[in-house]
Amino acid sequence: NAGVMQNPRHLVRRRGQEARLRCSPMKGHSHVYWYRQLPEEGLKFMVYLQKENIIDESGMPKERFSAEFPKEGPSILRIQQVVRGDSAAYFCASSPPIGGTDTQYFGPGTRLTVL
């Protein structure tokens, strides 16, 4: 059973460009979470999604950031018009649909560098 997959592992963007980060949850998992880790800090929750639904986006910046988890395909975290402060590691996690939904399994992360 493959783990949570994220791609790309490393992403370099210039200021003003768009960044798209992808996350494929573990097989059988229907809950996806995105977290951001700024340098020298712990992980901060961004958004919690189920298939075609955003359940909790309380950690998402109000502008430029969006997330989706379509019926088919991976979850996407999209950052428009990136700025240097967006440079961070972005981690995706998934959990199963029934029971134990607070146990989350993390992917390897996407390290975004904004030049």
Q: Are 21 and 112 in contact (CB under 8 A)?
A: yes
Q: Which residues bind another protein (CB under 8 A)?
A: 4, 31, 33, 35, 41-45, 48, 55-56, 58-59, 91, 93, 95, 101-109, 111
Is 20 or 111 the residue whose CB approaches another protein more closely? 111
Output the smallest distance, CB 16 to another protein, in A.
27
Sheet order of strands, 75-79 included: 5-7, 19-24, 75-79, 65-68
Q: State the minimum distance, in angstroms, from the CB of residue 54 to another protein.
A: 13
